[in-house]
Amino acid sequence: MTDRPRLFANRVAAGSALGTAVAAHKWPHPVVVLGLPRGGVPVAYEVAKALAAPLDVMIVRKIGMPGQPEFAIGAIASGDVTVRDRAGLAGSEEDFERLATRERAELQRREHAYRRGAPPLDLRGKTVILVDDGIATGATMLAAVRATRRAGAAQVVIATPVASVEAVATLGKEADEVICLQRPAFFMSISEWYGEFAQLQDAEVCAVLDAARVARSLHAPTPEGRR
């Protein structure tokens, strides 16, 4: 028995394919691309390049079930957004808040590490493309959508190379559009759809964000070009 071939060689290849799909749409407002750290950032970078759009991060943290941290029972996002799957945790509000408090500390650490004192991009009146490398349950992306709405986005679009059918259905009720290249009927994990799926470090995320800032500054219109 042979292993099923992986659809995407790595996150860069997945982002390139996703960027082509996203760029085929005509968006009604100025576009901003937000990657969900860590794995969604290199995918989002390719999407931002395809759209010639600015790139930033939407920092989210999954709240995992005790003993089964990969199983999401909720999520938090920048802007003090909390999503809870009340069916996922047979415990009290105090139990959930204890878990959420720990993840808020990590969210704040990442805000400092990735932004390094810079403010987030202004999302008011814009089309915001939220990008992750894959979506399993959809809890963290749901928190990202709600945080983006709260920040004043005119339109919220989710873009991902691969997602479960259930997650796409759930997120489609809150986002204006979901762009997903693959929706497998049997979804075990995101990594199975990639040939290379290494866990990224903070330094790698910062390097991608720095590259995006440099690229934007090089292509920014000169004073003469704005006349």
The confidence score (pLDDT) of residue 2 equals: 44
Cα(58)–Cα(136) distance, integer angstroms: 18
Q: Check residue 120 and give left, alpha or beta (phi > 0: left; psi -120 to 50: alpha).
A: beta
State yes or no: pLDDT of 5 exceeds 60. Answer: no
Tens of pLDDT, residues 21-42: 999 999 999 999 999 999 999 9
Which residues in 36-47 are b (16+ Cβ under 10 Å) and which e?
Answer: bbbbbbbbbbbb
- Percent of the chain's residues with pLDDT above 90: 71
Q: How do the residues of the chain divide into helix, strand and coil, expressed in percent and rounded to 5?
A: 40, 20, 40
In this prediction, residue 13 has a pLDDT band, given cuts at 50, 70 and 90, of very high
Instruction: Please provide the average confidence, as pLDDT, over all residues in the chain.
Output: 90
What residue segments make up the domains of the chain, in order of their start?
Answer: 11-59+118-216
Tens of pLDDT, residues 83-102: 987 655 555 677 788 889 99
Is the distance from CB of 39 to CB of 9 less than 8 angstroms?
Answer: no
Answering whether pTM is above 0.95, one says no
The confidence score (pLDDT) of residue 109 equals: 95
Q: Which fold has domain 11-59+118-216?
A: Rossmann fold (3.40.50)
The whole-number average pLDDT for the span 53-69 is 88
Helices H / strands E in the chain, number of each: 6, 8
